[in-house]
Amino acid sequence: MQELLGRISALDPQASLGLRVIACFDELIIGNVNTRALLSAAASLSGCNAGYQSDLPPRSLRVSPRGEIVAPDDGPPTPGSCSAITAEGLTVWIERDGEPHANDAIVLERLALAVRIRLGGGRREIDGRRDLGLLLDPTVPTETRRLAAARLNLVSTARYRVIAAPLFAVWDEHPSGAEDVVATPYGSIHALVVPHDHAPVPARPIGTGPATDVDHLHRSFRTAVVALRLCDPEVAPSVLADDYGGLVGLLADLPLDSDLPDVDSLDAIMSHPWGSVTVDALVRTSSVRQAARNAGVHHSTLQTRLDTIIAELGYDPLDNGIGRTRFGLASLVWRLRHSRVLDLPAPTTPSSPTPLR
């Protein structure tokens, strides 16, 4: 995989390889793979042998970048011929000849954590996850979250927002702040904490959560993930939860597979070539004329489409009673159900071909 990391760099010099390394080890830890598999991944990512040695039980293993076992040396290689981390009777290393590579430190750090967990350094270690993961998990006790926030230099009197992005988001500018890869039901998400009054972050796709105090940042994160999933690469590469008031927060708590006939009935409408743009235009207005302008069509055309929609739904989306609310909510849930923003990495296309190594 070292070669793949090299290709990613060549294609996109801005790409954060460290986050990919972290996400890789996160999956290995969740998958509860054995030490050979952990060393194989570290060796493959770094392109050189990786190994570990534990005191109790006395055990050691060296693995090549191809995942093959390498005959043991006399213990861990001497300092200088490799990078190593030793803690609590466990040493892990990668056997780099010469100068360390850019990702060696993060590979080694993640390897040490993963091996310790696998060796039963405790389920305790899993709870001792990284601070941002703790802070953004509502099932973690408030006091633990506050301690994690303090370690991240987040102040209890200040307000912050969480930004959610896929690992492959494109950042024109990357604000500094607490950040990490956090596991969610939608896969690994890149989470970043910024002050509540931070300028809009130029990156895509991203979702920005509402401003909260430290105790409720998990809420900001959950909402930011929903905002992210409402992104559309073409139309809305960045979504602010604030633009939807409390609505996006409401959606964060809704099981998407729940039985919602209003959402199902949108399927037929959305299958029309004009479906998506017309629904969006109707959601954002209360008159046919304005909706026609939003959609960029003649009002008689829009009226025809509206008649089709009313016939299909059985209610009028512009009805000033409950119809508008039903329609607006149904269209948001429909967009979430059909969200592809996390499926589709957005490869950058450099203007000139880059030689690949």
15 is a contact residue toward another protein (CB under 8 A): yes
Strand pairing category for 206-208 and 238-240 = parallel
Separation of alpha carbons 139 and 150, rounded Å: 18
| 182 to 201: interface string for another protein, x by CB under 8 A | ------x-------------
Decide whether 2 or 144 has the Cβ nearer to another protein.
Answer: 2
Quick one: which segment of 39-47, 83-91, 156-164, 317-325 binds another protein (CB under 8 A)? 39-47
Decide whether 107 or 154 has the Cβ nearer to another protein.
Answer: 107
1 is a contact residue toward another protein (CB under 8 A): yes
Backbone angles phi, psi at 236, to 5 degrees: -140, 80
Tokens of 33: 């793979």
In the complex, minimum distance from the CB of residue 335 to another protein, in angstroms, rounded to a whole number: 12
Picking from 140, 138, 141, 136, the residue whose alpha carbon sits closest to that of residue 152 is 136
Residues 6+ apart with CB under 8 A from 346: 168, 169, 170, 204, 205, 233
Separation of alpha carbons 201 and 198, rounded Å: 8
Among 51, 65, 77, 317, binds another protein (CB under 8 A): 65
Quick one: which segment of 59-67, 154-162, 240-248, 279-287 binds another protein (CB under 8 A)? 59-67
Decide whether 25 or 52 has the Cβ nearer to another protein.
Answer: 25
30 is a contact residue toward another protein (CB under 8 A): yes
354 is a contact residue toward another protein (CB under 8 A): yes
- Write out the H or E segment, with its range, that includes residue 90: strand 90-94
105 is a contact residue toward another protein (CB under 8 A): no
In the complex, minimum distance from the CB of residue 153 to another protein, in angstroms, rounded to a whole number: 27
User: Within a 13 Å sphere around the CA of 217, how many CA atoms are in the beta-carbon half?
Assistant: 36
Tokens of 60: 């050691």
7 is a contact residue toward another protein (CB under 8 A): yes
Among 35, 41, 53, 269, binds another protein (CB under 8 A): 41
Q: Which residues in 92-118 are b (16+ Cβ under 10 Å) and which e?
A: bbbbbeeeebebbebbbbbbbbbbbbb
Catalog residues that contact another protein under the rule CB under 8 A.
Answer: 1, 3-5, 7-8, 11-12, 15, 20-21, 23-28, 30-33, 36-37, 40-41, 43-45, 65-68, 167-168, 188, 256-257, 337-338, 340, 343-345, 347, 349, 353-354, 356-357
